[in-house]
């Protein structure tokens, strides 16, 4: 569980690096096995494009709805927690492309009624995530601007970069998220972040798990058509429609 000081730091800086292992060794190995199945079945997708794998693979709900994760994010999200999305990210050795400076909230603009308590868990799988293989970097405190930066420029997704890039970032303020295998970071959905390319011989693999307060309404807009959310903990006060809870189904 996070301490009061941890919560205060997250509110002011927009991130935390607990430097602790999230799952047991056995559970971590199971998740890595699921990831490798998705990677082998990715087809023409790039290795960093394995988005919403839990929509297709119910095995991932064991991890996404686990007490280990929910106990960690509850002090930041609140007691009523909904699962927003997840994403496998793998930057292949030598060719893993850079991620320009961006904020996730810009891609969700217009889809939710509020954005100030969306929390992402970034879990390192298989190998360390460090400067050599292009670990994530953030600009501390940048979430306090509220997200939705106006200084975006388009980037070419076919080459070294993807996302719409935020320009004018002072990289001297960047903090590198160096993680051992099994360790995790936490960041606010509005924080400016990115990553350098992987020029090392070691693959950089992560699993992101994103949560939002169940008091936030998922809006009835075209961008949300077919989107799936789960009530992970507590109760809904926004009138959202959730997928069946596999924990209830399993015990029935």
In the chain, where are the structural domains located? 4-240
* CA–CA gap between residue 156 and residue 175 (Å, rounded): 25
- Residue 85 is predicted with a pLDDT of 96
Place of tokens 């009530």: 231
CA end-to-end span of the chain: 30
pTM of the model: 0.92
Please report, for residues 38, 40, 58, 159, the alpha-carbon distance to residue 43 in angstroms, rounded to integers and kept in the order given: 10, 8, 20, 18
Q: CA torsion 247→66→128→116, rounded to 10°?
A: 110
Q: How far apart are CA 190 and CA 141, in angstroms?
A: 10
Q: Which residues contact 141 (CB under 8 A, 6 or more apart)?
A: 12, 13, 14
> What whole-number distance in Å separates Cα of residue 16 and Cα of residue 251?
35
Q: Is 241 exposed, middle or buried (0-12, 13-18, 19+ CB in 10 A)?
A: exposed
Residues facing residue 48 across a β-bridge: none
Residue 82 pLDDT: 98
What is the architecture, at CATH level 2, of domain 4-240?
Sandwich (2.60)
Name the residue with tokens 């050599």: 132
Which phi and psi angles does 204 have, rounded to 5°?
-105, 115
Backbone angles phi, psi at 106, to 5 degrees: -65, -30
* Residue range 194-205, pLDDT digits in tens: 999 999 999 999
Low-confidence stretches of the chain (pLDDT < 50) are 154-162
Contact call for residues 135 and 204 (beta carbons, < 8 A): yes
pLDDT score at 86? 96
């Amino acid at each position: 569980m996070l301490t009061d000081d941890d919560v205060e730091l997250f509110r002011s800086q927009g991130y935390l690096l607990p430097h602790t292992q999230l799952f047991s060794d056995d559970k971590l190995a199971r998740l890595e096995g699921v990831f490798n199945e998705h990677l082998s079945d990715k087809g023409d997708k790039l290795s960093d494009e394995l988005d919403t794998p839990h929509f297709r693979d119910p095995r991932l709900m064991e991890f996404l709805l686990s007490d280990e994760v929910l106990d960690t994010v509850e002090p930041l999200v609140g007691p009523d927690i909904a699962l927003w999305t997840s994403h496998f990210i793998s930057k292949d050795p030598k060719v893993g492309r850079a991620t320009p400076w961006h904020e996730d909230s810009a891609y969700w603009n217009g889809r939710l009624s509020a954005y100030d308590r969306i929390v992402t868990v970034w879990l390192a799988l298989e190998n360390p995530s460090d400067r050599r293989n292009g670990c994530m970097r953030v600009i501390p405190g940048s979430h306090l601007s509220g997200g939705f930066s106006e200084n975006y420029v388009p980037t070419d997704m076919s080459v070294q970069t993807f996302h719409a890039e935020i320009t004018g970032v002072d990289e001297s303020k960047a903090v590198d998220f160096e993680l051992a295998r099994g360790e995790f970071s936490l960041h606010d959905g509005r924080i400016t972040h990115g990553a350098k390319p992987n020029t090392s011989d070691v693959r950089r693999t992560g699993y992101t798990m994103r949560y939002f307060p169940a008091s936030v309404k998922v809006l009835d807009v075209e961008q949300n058509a077919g989107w799936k959310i789960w009530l992970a903990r507590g109760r809904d006060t926004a009138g959202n429609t959730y997928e069946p809870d596999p924990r209830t189904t399993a015990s029935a």
